[in-house]
Every structure is written in structure tokens, then in C-alpha cells.
Amino acid sequence: MTTTSMKDVARAAGVSVGTVSNVLNRPDAVAEETRSRVQAAIAELGYVRNDSARQLRAGRSRTVAVVVLDVANPFFTDVVRGAEPLIESAGGVVTVCDSGEDVRRERRHLEILEEQRVLGLLITPVDDTSASWIERLSGHDIPLVLVDRGAGRHPHCSVAVDDVHGGRLAAQHLADRGHTRIAFVGGPASIPQVADRLAGCREVCDEAGVALEVFTTAGLNFAAGREAVEQMLGLAERPTAMFCANDLVALGALQALTMHGVKVPQECAIIGYDDIDFAAAAAVPLSSIRQPRSQLGRTAAQLLFDEIGEGAGHTHRNVVFQPELVARASTSQEL
Amino acid sequence: MTTTSMKDVARAAGVSVGTVSNVLNRPDAVAEETRSRVQAAIAELGYVRNDSARQLRAGRSRTVAVVVLDVANPFFTDVVRGAEPLIESAGGVVTVCDSGEDVRRERRHLEILEEQRVLGLLITPVDDTSASWIERLSGHDIPLVLVDRGAGRHPHCSVAVDDVHGGRLAAQHLADRGHTRIAFVGGPASIPQVADRLAGCREVCDEAGVALEVFTTAGLNFAAGREAVEQMLGLAERPTAMFCANDLVALGALQALTMHGVKVPQECAIIGYDDIDFAAAAAVPLSSIRQPRSQLGRTAAQLLFDEIGEGAGHTHRNVVFQPELVARASTSQEL
DNA sequence: CGCACATTTTGAATCGATTCATGAAGGGAT
DNA sequence: ATCCCTTCATGAATCGATTCAAAATGTGCG
């Protein structure tokens, strides 16, 4: 290994290591002539700073980690994209960790992130059992912001979208269309977003006298939607509309229904959640509940840096956005 | 800051730091009684290893970085998913960097990754100007594998899918369907995958006497497809089929055509590339060229660890997979 | 009891960058 | 020539974990 260190540069330039460090970090404190000599040496030797050493000294890294439920879900990539500019312009480095809706994977990531002494964390926890780990990080002075997580009674900053309300919007839309027997598809039930959306949905169904059938899935992806449809088609009395916990599930369901020759929306309406780009491009353009994805990310990053800046005497803020109904062809049929 | 260090643990357990380190790294070398005493101290103090210090000593981090063109593209998330298991089971940590098809962003990532002394790199370079940076990393003893990059004359390991052949498959399929005037949509032309797919396409068109119209886009996403369609619809003599450089572009195009009332495939056929999950679920199920995405990732990780293991006397391997045509409704019409 | 040998534990040296008290050099004013 | 200031450069101390030669402790055997 021929890793060049500051010492080598110092020797080559005929100065002390302190001076090399200054050239890198406070160029103004170094005389013009010396500076260029050092820079020449750096270029010549192909010297690259060792971040580990820097971090060790600094006590903290400049990495901000974003822990999401599913990187393959465009919802989350948009959230990340929203957060990045702010983090990078603050000199931070973004790293994305995928928990895959799995508490164990999430935990492994958190362990590593803590060992890395990350600057901060934006996290969408898998479920409530994540709480103890999150408290641990927080207790070890790692600032964090909960993303897309109810402005619950958590002692943290958070950004969220009102999922209960989103559930209501979706159910109300279906009820308005005349449906009296609908299915909710999503899971696992332990995921707070799923629970909240279902709660809002149930609320409206109860009020409006709509029968609600719940299909609990193992995850929130294509396959889940397909499987739920297989199950639903076996029923004697089939719902006339489905509310899927997110668009991936809805697209999976749509695909399965189409395969089975069930006409959407005539024989079965579908509404999804998130309004990802693919929703509008689907076989039958998908009605959905839109969330301000990138704003969610932006705001989360903002809150994080506020917290980092304010230090100890910081009071947590919980920002809640309102979701919005986007009606398209997949629910266009009046019953 | 109340960061507990090994020294604190050592003091609390009444042993030396060397022993604490042994408990963590070679538990068998420590007497049962001592070990549990140290572990108790660790638990009590809530001690967490400092990875920076570890890395500094080790000279390398255990992070494997995957640099992709677009994290929002399911193709790449699948590649990453394919690579993860192997990397993690080897004790590595995966970090995903999104170059966003932008050389400057890519460069910034590479700079940081080099400072972090990453264990290795899987990278899909943005274009040929990336080469010099890649050589630099390589010259600094950072093992890397090129992903989805022609088994060119690069002195590196690589995994790739034969994009020229993929282009041929797509064009041949359209020619077989009777199209004599087709459009290629994709860009920027500097992206090797785009260039190769176009090359294969052109080859077949020339042979078969098919007129080829090239629409060069600024990126490979939804918007690009939509814009290309707007442009195409303005033409006097409109192509009867489109070959899009990837599925995102194709879905964007499909959406725009539908909006303009152009029937797919009757008035305009479309074929995409990648066969992402959304392709089958599209408004009109999308024909596409399938690539073995997760195998690509798996193999890349494999090659990387081979290289790391073999050290200096390593001979590079270039693995090339063959793509495969998946015909669906979007090209089902015979002319 | 003494010696050889196996098992544990120790603590100083090391990785590379940053920081900061200290000192050197140069300039201006008196 | 002297003193004061400013401007630069220095190098030792530091961050925290790992490593390894050496020491300490224990065990068995003749």
C-alpha cells in the first residue's frame, strides 16, 4: 500500500504537517508562496485526505443518513431527492439505507450508523418496536428527524403527512362514487402508515355504512397487490373497489385484475396512495392520494440542521402536511 | 459530548484497553470471567465502537460503494439488491451513490469515496470522461468493478449486458412487425448504454431498409419520453414505432401518446429497455428488452471480492450477459 | 521444588489529520 | 538600536481502536 499522508506532503514541500493542514483548511492563514508549494506537492504526490483521521479528530462525521422503508419505492427516492440539496449545501454527505420494512435490517443499519458517528439521521421507522433503538441513538446525542411518522408523542422533530386524513379522503371518494363494499389492501399492520390509512378509511366506512374488507399483506409492493387480488377473486361476495396502502400495491393489484379479465374501474375500482409518477402512466391511470414528497424531505433536512445548530436547548418541531386526492380513470365509474 | 471510549470501559471493568479490544475482536482469547466483566461494563456504559478510529488503524473502511446513474430507476435498485447479500455476508456495508447522470456529481462522490478509503467500488460510469477519475481511484489501490459497461478495453473487471445486441433485438422485433420507419429515443448520446443500443438498432435498420429517426434526449426518464413525443408529433411524416433507450423513457412516451389520443400499438408501437416491473403494468403492457438485473449486481460483487482477495496478482475478468426480448401488447400490432 | 509450557493480560506504539501554544521573522515607529 | 505588532510556521498533543512483544499467571510433570 502506498498511501500518501500529510507527512509525505510536508516533507516534499519542505514544511511542517501543521502547515499542510492549514493549506487545506485555512488557506488564508498561509503565505501565498508556501501555499502554492504545498499545493504542488499535493498534486505531484496525488495526496488524498484521509477522512477517518479527520473524523476521529472531529468526533463526528459529516454524513447524514436517510433510513427508508424501501428504496425501490419512488416515494422514498423523491423524499431523498428533496433532502439532498440542503444537506449537500451544508457540506454534508448523504447516505441512504434501506430497511426493507424489516426491523432487523433497520437495527443493523442503526448500529453501524452509530458506530460511524453520523452527523444526523432522517428515519422512517419500520414500526413501534424501532422506538427503543431510536431513543438509544438520540440518547447518544445523534440528532434525528422522524420522516412520514405521525406527530405522535415522540420527543423528536418530525415531518409527516396526515395519513388518517389520507385514508378518509380515499374512502370518501369511493363512497361518493357509490361503492358500498370496499377492500383495504396493505400491511403489515404494524407499519404505522398502514394502520393510520386504514383507520381513516374505517372511520368513513363506518359513518357511510360501507362494508370494509381488510386484506393484510406481508409488504407494500407489487407482489403484495397481486396476491391480495388472487385472494379477493376467490370470495363469494366481491368488493367493488379497492383502496391500496400505496401505489406499488395498487399497480400490482391492477395488473392482476387485468390478467384475470376484471375490468377496471367498471367491475372493480382502485385507488392507491403516494401518487408516484408511475400512477399516471398505469394501464388504467391510477387515482391516488398525493403527498408532498420532496417537500417532506426538504423540511426534514431543515429541521435536522436546525436541531444541530441549536444544540442542547432545542425544542422539537412537528410539521404535518395534508395529503390531497387525485382522481383518475381507475375510479372514474359511478355505480 | 459524553462519548464513552474503550478507555472508560477498561477502567470500569478493571482491565487494560488491550483486553477490551480483545473482547470485541477475539473473544476466545479472553478468559470467560474477564470477558463477561468487560461485556457488563460495555452494556452499563452504553459503549459504542468508534468506526473512524478502527478504520484509521485498519487503513481501509468496510464500505462498498455502488455508484449508479439513477437511484429512482428500478433497474439500478435491482442491481443493488442483487449485490447486497454478498457484500453484507462478507462483513461489508453498502452505500449507494446517485450520480444522476451528471459527471460533476459523479466526481464529487468519487472524491468523497476516495477520502473515505472505501473497500471497493461498483460503478456505472456516466460517460467516457469519467475514465480518468476511475483510473485515479484504481491507481490508488481501490478495487473496482464496472457495471453495465461494455467489456471494453478497460483494465478492470466488469459485468455488462450486450447492449448492441439488445438494440438489435429491439429493432429486429419492430422490423419483423412490418415497421419501416422507426424512432429511437434516448440520450444524452455520451452515455455508453445509449450509444450501444442505438448502434445495434442502426445496424439492423440499415440491413432491413428501415428508416431511423433519432431523438436525442437530455436524460433517461419520464420527462424525456414525454418531450420526445411532443417533438415527434409535430413531424410531417411520423414514425410508426418507437424504441426507447429505457423503460422510464418508454413509459413517459406512452403516457404522452395516450394523452394525445394516439393509439398504442395501432398508430404507434413502443418498445422499451430493462423490463422493469412497471413495464408489465403499464397502460399498454410494454414490450421491452430484459436484462438479468440482480444477477448483474451479484456477479459484480463477486468479481469485486475476488479482486480484493487475490490482491496484486489479479487478472481482470469481464462478464457479459445476453439480453432477451419480452414482447407484450405495446408492439402486438402487425402492420 | 523447579522448570517448561500454555493461557491471559498488559501497555506502548501506531494509524493520519487537526489544533494551538509557542516561536521566528519581518516591518514600522520612535 | 530597541520595542511592539503582525504575519507565518512549527511540532507536540490529541482523538480512539488495534496490535504485538513482553510480562504475568497458572498448570503439569519429573
Mean pLDDT, range B33-61, rounded to an integer: 96
By C1' distance from the Cα of B51, the closest nucleotide is D17
Residue B5, amino acid: S
Which one of B50, B52, B77 has the shortest CB-CB distance to A71? B77
Which residue is it, cell 400499438? B265
Q: Is the CB of A112 less than 8 angstroms away from the CB of B95?
A: no
* pLDDT band at B280; cut points 50, 70, 90: confident
Record: contact A53-B56, CB cut-off 8 A: yes
* CB within 8 Å: B283 and A281: yes
* Three-class secondary structure assignment of chain A: CCCCCHHHHHHHHCCCHHHHHHHHHCHHHCCHHHHHHHHHHHHHHCCCCCHHHHHHHHCCCCEEEEEECCCCCHHHHHHHHHHHHHHHHCCCEEEEEECCCCHHHHHHHHHHHHHCCCCEEEECCCCHHHHHHHHHHHHCCCCEEEECCCCCCCCCEEEEECHHHHHHHHHHHHHHCCCCEEEEEECCCCCHHHHHHHHHHHHHHHHHCCEEEEEECCCCCHHHHHHHHHHHHCCCCCCCEEEECCHHHHHHHHHHHHHCCCCCCCCCEEECCECCHHHHCECCCCEEEECCHHHHHHHHHHHHHHHHHHHHHCCCCEEEECCEEECCHHHCCCC
| Mean confidence (pLDDT) of chain B | 94
Neighbour-count burial of B181, counting CB atoms closer than 10 A to its CB (0-12 exposed, 13-18 middle, 19+ buried): middle
Compute the distance between CA of residue A113 and CA of residue A101 in angstroms, rounded to an integer: 18
Q: Using CB atoms, which residue from B3, B46, B77 is nearest to A72?
A: B77
Kindly determine whether the C-beta of residue B24 is less than 7 Å away from any atom of nucleic acid strand D: yes
Range with lowest mean pLDDT among A151-160, B203-212, B244-253: A151-160
Task: Name the closest residue (CA) to the C1' of nucleotide D19.
Answer: B18
Query: Which of B278, B328, B330 is the mutation pick for testing A, counting most A CBs within 10 A?
Result: B278
Tell me whether residues B222 and A52 touch, CB distance under 8 A.
Answer: no
Q: What is the pLDDT of residue B150?
A: 64
Q: Would you say the C-beta of B2 is within 7 Å of strand D?
A: no
Find chain B residues with C-beta within 8 A of A294's C-beta: none
pLDDT at A56 over 80: yes
- State the Cα angle at B236 between B231 and B241, rounded to 5°: 65
Q: Which residues contact A272 (CB under 8 A, 6 or more apart)?
A: A244, A246, A247, A249, A250, A251, A279, A286, A287, A288, A289
Residues by CB within 7 A of strand C: list them: A 3, 5-7, 17-18, 20-22, 24-25, 47, 49-50, 53-54, 56-58; B 14-19, 22, 29-31, 33-35, 53, 56-57, 59
Chain D nucleotides with an atom closer than 7 Å to a protein C-beta: 7-12, 14-21
The pLDDT score that the predictor gives to residue A284 is 87
Element (H, E) at B146: strand B144-147
Q: Which residues of B touch A282 (CB under 8 A)?
A: 281-283
Contacts of B67 in chain A (CB under 8 A): none
Q: Which nucleotide is nearest to B1 (CA to C1')?
A: D15
Q: Considering only A4-18, A141-155, A205-219, B130-144, which range has the smallest mean pLDDT?
A: A141-155
B226 burial (CB, 10 Å; 0-12 / 13-18 / 19+) is buried
Identify which of A142, A1, A177 has the alpha carbon closest to the alpha carbon of residue A64. A142
| B126: closest CA of chain A, how far (Å) | 19
In angstroms, the CA of A41 and the C1' of D5 are apart by 32
Cβ atoms of A273 and A289 within 8 Å: the answer is: yes
Q: What is the pLDDT of residues A172-221, one digit of tens each?
A: 999 999 999 999 999 999 999 999 999 999 999 999 999 999 999 999 99
How many helices (H) and strands (E) would you count in chain B?
Answer: 13, 12
Nucleotide nearest to B52 (CA to C1'): D16
Chain B CB contacts of A52 below 8 Å: 52-53, 55-56, 61, 116-117
Is the pLDDT assigned to residue B1 strictly greater than 60? no
User: How far in angstroms lies nucleotide D10's C1' from the CA of residue B53?
Assistant: 26
Shortest Cα–Cα distance, A260 to chain B (Å): 13
Share of chain A above pLDDT 70, in %: 98
- The pLDDT, as a whole number, for residue A310 is 84
Peptide bond into A239 cis (omega under 30): no
Do residue B56 and residue A61 have CB atoms under 8 angstroms apart?
A: no
* Residue A102 clears pLDDT 80, i.e. is over it: yes
A contacts of B222 (beta carbons < 8 Å): 277, 281
B284-335 pLDDT tens trace: 899 999 999 999 999 999 999 999 998 777 899 999 999 999 999 999 987 7
Q: What is the pLDDT of residue B310?
A: 85
Write down the pLDDT at residue A283.
Answer: 79
Nearest Cα to Cα of residue A227 among A198, A205, A260, A263: A260
The predicted pLDDT at position A149 comes to 80
How far: B92 CA to D22 C1' (Å)? 35
Contact criterion met (CB below 8 Å) for A160 and A134: no
Subunit contact B116:A51, Cβ cutoff 8 A:
yes
Q: Minimal Cα–Cα distance from B208 to chain A, Å? A: 32
Using alpha carbons, select from A323, A300, A276, A288 the residue that is nearest to residue A82.
Answer: A300
Give the residue on A whose Cα is nearest the Cα of B250: A281
* pLDDT tens, residue by residue, A242-290: 999 999 999 999 989 988 989 999 999 999 999 998 898 887 899 999 9
Contact across the interface for A116 and B52, Cβ inside 8 Å: yes
pLDDT of residue A312: 72
Min distance B244 CA to chain A CA atoms (Å):
16
Residue pointed to by grid coordinates 403484495: A224
pLDDT tens for B227-243 read 999 999 999 999 999 99
Q: Does the distance separating the beta carbons of A117 and B51 come in below 8 Å?
A: yes
Find the CB nearest B56 among A56, A141, A284.
A56
* A150 has pLDDT over 70: no
Specify the pLDDT at position A154: 74
Nucleotides of C under 7 A from a protein CB: 7-12, 14-21
Nucleotide nearest to A16 (CA to C1'): D10
Question: What is d(CA A144, CA A122) in angstroms, rounded to the nearest whole number?
Answer: 6
Distance in Å from C26's C1' to A29's CA comes to 16
**pLDDT, average across residues A128-148:** 92
Of A256, A275, A259, the residue nearest A327 (C-alpha) = A275
- The predicted structure's pLDDT at residue A189: 95
The band of B152, judged by pLDDT with boundaries at 50, 70 and 90, is low
Q: With 80 as the cut, is the pLDDT of residue A1 above it? A: no
Q: How far is the CA of B58 from the C1' of C26 (A)?
A: 45
Instruction: Report d(CA B115, CA A148) in Å as an integer.
Output: 33
